[in-house]
Amino acid sequence: MKFVHASDIHLGRFYKGELPLEIAKKRREELWNSFENLINFCIKESIEILLLTGDLYEKEYFTLSDIDRFSDILNKLKTTEVFIIAGNHDYLDEKSLYNKTKFNNNIHLFKKEKYFDLEQLGVRIHGFSWDKDKNYSRELKFDINKNYRNIILLHGSVGTDDYFPLNVKSLENLDADYIGLGHIHLRQKVLDNVYYPGSLEGLNFKEVGNKGFILGSFKEELYIEYINTNIRKYNKIEININKDMNINDIQNDLFKKLENKENDLNRIYLKGEFENPDYLMEVLDNISGYFYIEFKNELEKSISIEEIYIENKDNLIGKFIDRTKDDKDVLEIGLKALLEAKNGN
């Protein structure tokens, strides 16, 4: 029996102020494409069960036509049984859009149900949906039936005390065959039978690298595999600049580190020292050919000894430069200390 577990798709995400309008628009559409790819994977691979563990859309920005688009895509699944729990971003109350669209009979949303049984497959699926956006908590009690394989779906946080905290020990004691978690966007194994698939696509620069979903199967034992399906990646890249590097060297280092990342979202951290950071930023801002690139200027302005000498000719600093100018190391270290003292650091 094969199952797929995906989570935190965040359809409708608005990217307010994070990305330029055109890029945000494309990304918003790509979340839909990624969702469709997930469904097509389930069709092509004849997946028997699809588990979706919450934050599938963002309530704040989702409309009636969006929820119909969502159900149209899910309804393409004819032989896959789908189980959905709602999370904090798509929580299920009376006004929820989940209630305003039509899902086929093979798509099951956890409302008041404690579990669903799939007799032919010998599987019982348990789960809770969030019914508000904050301070949600439920007692972890389930009707485990050992004649079945038991799968539990939860949207909550392992390892923090916010957003339905889940304690590892209590998850271990649940005696389930698989516990599918949502909420944390980083894919991870919590226990041998407890996993977060993470978000389907990277949603911001905290979510770097490959993303996708979990493909699981039960033979004798549980077998888990991560499938990478992200359309693009978020990358964080560091460029360390030292005083021997000129603009060409910096650009060459940058282009090398950006190889094969033309279609990604790239954030470049500039670190170290450079004499004229503003000029460097101006040059870098003209780089094109990437889906998205931004620079974080964390450079320190390296000191220009000539300038400092002109400003300080008549005081102790000027005298110090005069006397040590033949010993570069002494000059630089001493000068730094003198300047710090002068600036009161």
Identity at 287, one-letter amino acid code = I
Asked whether the beta carbons of 261 and 290 are under 8 A apart, the reply is: yes
Q: Which is nearer to Mn ion, 13 or 126 (CB)?
A: 13
Rounded to a whole number of angstroms, the minimum distance from the CB of residue 170 to Mn ion is 22
Q: Which is nearer to Mn ion, 13 or 232 (CB)?
A: 13
Choose one: 52-60, 163-171, 212-220, 224-232; the region binding Mn ion (CB under 5 A). Answer: 52-60
Rounded to a whole number of angstroms, the minimum distance from the CB of residue 154 to Mn ion is 13
Rounded to a whole number of angstroms, the minimum distance from the CB of residue 334 to Mn ion is 53
Q: DSSP class of residue 262?
A: T
Q: In angstroms, what CA-CA distances link 81 with 182, 297, 307?
A: 19, 50, 72
Choose one: 3-11, 100-108, 128-136, 281-289; the region binding Mn ion (CB under 5 A). Answer: 3-11
Number of residues that bind Mn ion (CB under 5 A): 2
Rounded to a whole number of angstroms, the minimum distance from the CB of residue 231 to Mn ion is 18
Structure tokens at 106: 């093979």
Kindly write down the DSSP assignment for every residue of 211-258, as one continuous string: -EEEEEEESSSEEEEEEE--SS-EEEEEEEE-TT--HHHHHHHHHHHT
Rounded to a whole number of angstroms, the minimum distance from the CB of residue 62 to Mn ion is 14
The residue of the chain with the least Cβ separation from Mn ion equals 55
Q: DSSP class of residue 13?
A: -
Q: In angstroms, what CA-CA distances link 104 with 38, 59, 78, 81?
A: 18, 22, 9, 10
Q: Is 201 in the site for Mn ion (CB under 5 A)?
A: no
Q: Which is nearer to Mn ion, 8 or 48 (CB)?
A: 8
Residue closest to 139 by CA, chosen among 150, 149, 124, 128? 128
> Pattern of binders to Mn ion over 53-82, x per CB under 5 A?
--x---------------------------
Interactions with Mn ion, residue window 142-171 (CB under 5 A): none
Rounded to a whole number of angstroms, the minimum distance from the CB of residue 88 to Mn ion is 7
Q: Which is nearer to Mn ion, 20 or 159 (CB)?
A: 159
Q: Which is nearer to Mn ion, 110 or 115 (CB)?
A: 110
Identity at 209, one-letter amino acid code = G
Choose one: 8-16, 35-43, 151-159, 167-175; the region binding Mn ion (CB under 5 A). Answer: 8-16
For Mn ion, the binding residue among 3, 6, 8, 67 (CB under 5 A) is 8
Bridge partner list, 166: 158
Neighbour count for residue 113 (Cβ, 10 Å):
14
Choose one: 4-12, 14-22, 58-66, 250-258; the region binding Mn ion (CB under 5 A). Answer: 4-12
SS3 106: coil
Rounded to a whole number of angstroms, the minimum distance from the CB of residue 182 to Mn ion is 7
Q: Distance between alpha carbon 39 and the CA centroid of its chain, in Å? A: 21
Q: Which is nearer to Mn ion, 55 or 201 (CB)?
A: 55
Choose one: 47-55, 201-209, 297-305, 306-314; the region binding Mn ion (CB under 5 A). Answer: 47-55
Rounded to a whole number of angstroms, the minimum distance from the CB of residue 29 to Mn ion is 19
Residue closest to 59 by CA, chosen among 16, 101, 98? 98
SS3 335: helix
Rounded to a whole number of angstroms, the minimum distance from the CB of residue 292 to Mn ion is 22
DSSP H/E element including 179: strand 178-182
Choose one: 1-9, 16-24, 120-128, 329-337; the region binding Mn ion (CB under 5 A). Answer: 1-9
Distance (Å, rounded) from C-alpha 286 to C-alpha 280? 10
Four-residue CA torsion sign, 290, 293, 299, 302: positive
Residues that bind Mn ion (CB under 5 A): 8, 55
